[in-house]
Amino acid sequence: MKLTVSTHKLFGYGSTLRTAKRLSEEAVRIVERSVAGRMPDVQVVLTGERNLAEVSTAAEWETAGCTDKRMQARALRDAKRYARDVAGRSIPLADGGVLIVVNVDQHPNEAVFAITLVHELVHAMQTSRKGVRDRLVAGLRHDLGVEKQSRRWDREHARCLEAEEKEAYGSEYLAGRLVPAAAA
């Protein structure tokens, strides 16, 4: 398992980057012990809401193999529309790793950052489970119009995503081990 923490078009956030590196290393250890699965290679990218959409959609396009410029433009527009409300996203990468993109504008302190980080790391652990990565990539390919799936498959995929989201929210209490203030 390899962990890298970096920034994207984020200047003057050196102390935030150092804090993120420290918290990420601790969070990976805590989540690995507490959640079923195996931690893949993780890339954590800190960015603002303006650049969150372009970083996450670029990773989605690469993973899904989307080359249609119109679909890319539509996906980028949709991502920009929702970027203000997103605290973080985890995206499976083509090489088998997971990209976690964190919106630093949504995190006023370490406690909130720790909660988001644990939530997204749980999603990273979920991708190592049997069939989950393939289903997530097929979902990206379906959303980007590369390979359409049936409505039945789409409903089942939505149910699985909801269950995975519930598990991630249920595991956010682990952030209290990272930063005691997150437990409050």
Q: What is the pLDDT of residues 49-64, one digit of tens each?
A: 889 999 999 999 999 9
Q: What pLDDT sits at residue 181?
A: 73
Strand, helix or coil at 30?
helix
The predicted model scores a pTM of: 0.93
Q: 100 φ, ψ to 5°? A: -110, 115
Query: For the chain, which residues score pLDDT lower than 70?
Result: 183-184
Strand ordering across the sheet containing 42-47: 3-7, 42-47, 98-103, 88-92
Q: What pLDDT sits at residue 137?
A: 95
Task: Give the other-Cβ count within 10 Å of 156's Cβ.
Answer: 13
Q: Nearest to residue 140, comparing CAs of 85, 33, 61, 79?
A: 61
Q: What is the DSSP string of 87-140?
A: SEEEEE-TTS-EEEEEEGGG-SSHHHHHHHHHHHHHHHHHTTSTTHHHHHHHHH
Q: Convert the pLDDT of each residue in 87-109 to its tens digit.
A: 999 999 999 999 999 999 999 99
- C-alpha distances in angstroms, 78 versus 2, 19, 38, 57? 31, 31, 32, 10
Q: What pLDDT sits at residue 35?
A: 94
Q: Nearest to residue 146, comparing CAs of 52, 62, 54?
A: 62
Q: 179 φ, ψ to 5°? A: -125, 115
